[in-house]
Amino acid sequence: MICGDNYFGSHIESGVVDEILELIRPLSPDAFVAGPAFNAGRYGVACGTMAKAVQDALSIPVVSGMYRENPGVDMFRKDIYIIETKDSSADMRNAAPKMAKLLKKLVNGEEVLGPKEEGYLEKGIRVNYFNERRGSERAVELLVRKIKGEETYTDYPMPVIDHVAPAPPLKDLSKAKIALITSGGVVPQGNPDHIESSSATKWGKYSIAGMDHADKKDFMTIHGGYDRAFITEDPDLCIPVDALRKLEKEGVIGKLTDYFITTTGTGTATNSSKRFAEEYIPLLKEDGVDAVLMVST
């Protein structure tokens, strides 16, 4: 079964899931594999969505494979088995046998062991077992290790909650200075700073001074995660300079900055994204920017 991830992503509401299910159902499969998607975000989401849909509709075992940071992992790890892969398809030779092995076990109804043994990303299901020693005894030993600075462990990893407190609302949009930021990979023609097509390690800041829209002779997209045809033809689809200029003229917003900030989102590690923001936020502050329009793809 082949389906482009853009097609999938843009047709969820119009019933692509059922459409694919009806293609699968007549085949009466015993099991279903989606992916591996490695670190391709849209692909991961599509794999997860279909695997869960097949599991629910046909009640057969399903397996997928993804890199830990793929957004499909957080969305579907509790519902389906996702074998942990590296971040690119170079890992196919390792990932595929693990997926096959787990799928076989599921089909044969054999006992599935823990995430470490089978190589899947923890589903987050808490399962009881009897330890060899009582909890208090293990706790005293663990405390001694912690005090000594030795390696420790935890029976229950804390869920990581990344808090971002919302900024206070703008007092007056008509006086606000707005900046434009995208992870859509739009860069000046020629990509002067060599920003990567995926797994970006850098970001760029480029001028839109005096432009009333983003023209294809000035800009291109280098994003490796979607069909570039439309944005190549009209970069305003990703960096809506045209719309913002119009709002600026109408006095709805105060002013658009003379530049936009850009990087590539696909495959980019969350830690890198965090660093980018820490690097450009001081520039925005210095420039007196009141609000930011973030455009993803």
Nearer to other proteins, 26 or 166 (CB): 166
Nearer to other proteins, 127 or 229 (CB): 127
The residues of the shown chain that bind other proteins, judged by CB under 8 A, are 78, 112, 114-115, 122-144, 146-148, 152-161, 163, 165
Please state the closest distance from residue 64 (CB atom) to other proteins, in A.
17
Distance CA 84, CA 79 (A): 15
Please state the closest distance from residue 147 (CB atom) to other proteins, in A.
4
Q: Which amino acid, 151? A: E
Grouping H, G, I as helix, E, B as strand and the rest as coil, residue 165 is coil
DSSP secondary-structure letter at 157? P
* Pair 266, 145: CB distance under 8 Å: no
Nearer to other proteins, 111 or 250 (CB): 111
Nearer to other proteins, 160 or 229 (CB): 160
The tokens describing 278, both together, are 């820490």
Q: List residues bridging with 65 in a β-sheet.
A: 83
Distance CA 82, CA 102 (A): 10
Nearer to other proteins, 118 or 215 (CB): 118
Distance CA 9, CA 22 (A): 18
Please state the closest distance from residue 163 (CB atom) to other proteins, in A.
7
Please state the closest distance from residue 94 (CB atom) to other proteins, in A.
22
Distance CA 239, CA 153 (A): 46
* Pair 203, 165: CB distance under 8 Å: no
Nearer to other proteins, 130 or 229 (CB): 130
* Sign of the torsion angle spanned by Cα atoms 104, 108, 109, 110: negative
Please state the closest distance from residue 36 (CB atom) to other proteins, in A.
21
Please state the closest distance from residue 133 (CB atom) to other proteins, in A.
7
* Pair 107, 31: CB distance under 8 Å: yes
Please state the closest distance from residue 80 (CB atom) to other proteins, in A.
12
Nearer to other proteins, 11 or 101 (CB): 101
DSSP secondary-structure letter at 170? P
User: How do beta strands 177-182 and 186-188 pair?
Assistant: unpaired
Nearer to other proteins, 82 or 208 (CB): 82
* Pair 297, 229: CB distance under 8 Å: no
Q: Which among 212, 239, 207, 210 is positioned nearest to 223, based on CA atoms?
A: 239
Grouping H, G, I as helix, E, B as strand and the rest as coil, residue 134 is coil
Please state the closest distance from residue 90 (CB atom) to other proteins, in A.
28
